[in-house]
Structure 1
Amino acid sequence: MTHESIQSVTRIEASPETVFAVLADPGSHAAIDGTGWVRESLDGKRLTETGQVFRIAMYHDNHPDGHYEMANQVRVFDPPHALAWEPGQDAAGDGELQFGGWTWRYDLKPVGQDETEVTLTYDWSRVPSVMQEEFGGFPPFPASHLDNSLKHLASLATR
């Protein structure tokens, strides 16, 4: 763990193509998430390109409204090697997305026959310090969240 990112690594007994297909389906993100914050995909569309925005319903007890929505912009789309997105919101309600500066990234590396090493990185290096203070520091969850997410991803990819 550095002061600006955390990582978790696991091996999954599935091909990189299979693992990537699970990640590229936002409908599977609630089942992958280890915090219980992610609810469901609001778009129902698979991820297909860099720049694509996909919306996810969320819930957190500490959020002022409890339920909220994140609009995630795909920053890296390199099947079946890497997928990354940056969460944002339309805070002003004017259609303009504002991004907080944190990203989720999955890097997939083939290991032998039908096995994939997956590295999950949560990076908050571009989060302004004032926002970090407002959130009570980063990451806003324990590092074990990444381990749990990779366990859930492995379960989905090996079904």
Structure 2
Amino acid sequence: MTDVERFELSRQIAASPSAVFAVLRDPAGHVKIDSSGMLQSAEGELVGAVDDTFVVHMDRESLNDYPLGKYDVTVVITKYEPDALIEWTIRGRVTTEPLRHLYGYRLEPKDGGTLVTTYYDWSQIPEDYRGKGIFPVIPEAGLRATLGILARTVEQQG
């Protein structure tokens, strides 16, 4: 168990903030860049504001940690600034209330491309979930791998 309750990693990507953001606001984009293998498919419209939602069909067997099998979660956008910031939490199988573990991306134009910072913050999870070894769901290496897939995805779109 770790005392850390937030991971934050950055990577320079050779694409504009708008190209990167286009992937991040698209429910299918989340599936395309997922490094965990849990995200199977998504349904919903492009997000454009705080409180927008979409559904992701999940398969927890990819992590081989909890026998949840296939299930759905609803992604709830908690911060939204076009071409600059997107953050979300999820509601899902365990509870219809958001668990308050937050995922996000900050985008900053830099050196002819975009400095992309991704983060995963579980500091606000309910007390019931603390100390049970559930969080973090995604390891730091998973976030780093997702940044690599995001870079490949937007740089190949050119």
Q: How much has 1:89 moved relative to structure 2?
A: 1.9
Within the alignment, does 1:147 sit opposite 2:152 as a pair? no
1:73 to 68, 73, 76: 76
Write the distance in 1 (CA, Å) between the matches of 2:145 and 2:111: 24
Identity %: 28
Distance in 1, Cα, partners of 2:13 & 2:67? 37
Residues 89-108 of structure 1: CA deviation (Å, up to 9, x unaligned): 2657xxxx311110111000
Task: Find the counterpart in structure 2 of residue 12 from structure 1.
Answer: 13
TM-score by length of 1: 0.88
| Residue type at the aligned position of 2:85 | A
Among 140, 153, 156, the residue aligned to 1:156:
153
Work out the CA distance in 1 between the residues paired with 2:57 and 2:152: 22
Question: Which AA in structure 2 matches 1:99?
Answer: P
List structure 1 segments (4+ residues) > 3 angstroms apart after TM superposition.
62-65
Deviations 1:115-155 (A, max 9, x none): 00000000001112321334x14212321000000001111
Question: Aligned pair count?
Answer: 152
Separation in structure 2 between the aligned mates of residue 126 and residue 142 of structure 1, nearest angstrom: 17
Give the match for residue 41 of structure 1: 42
Asked if 1 retains the 8 angstrom alpha-carbon contact of 2:84 and 2:107, the reply is yes
State the partner residue of 2:121.
123
Offset of residue 48 of structure 1: 1.2
- C-alpha RMSD of the superposition: 1.8
Is contact 1:15-1:110 (8 Å) kept?
yes
Tell me if structure 1 keeps the 8 A contact 2:71–2:93: no
TM (normalized to structure 2)? 0.88
Distance in 1 (CA, whole Å) between partners of 2:25 and 2:4 is: 28
In structure 1, distance between residues paired with 2:20 and 2:3: 26
Structure 2 equivalent of residue 86 of structure 1: 89
SS in 1 for 2:91: strand
Q: What SS class does the counterpart of residue 131 from structure 2 fall into? A: helix
Unpaired segments of 5 or more residues in structure 1? none
The superposition leaves residues 5-56 of structure 1 with CA deviations (integer Å, 9 ceiling, x where unpaired) of 001110000000110011111112112111101111122x111111101110
What CA distance in whole angstroms lies between the structure 1 residues aligned with 2:22 and 2:3?
29
Secondary structure at the aligned position of 2:47 is classed as coil
1:156 alignment partner AA: T
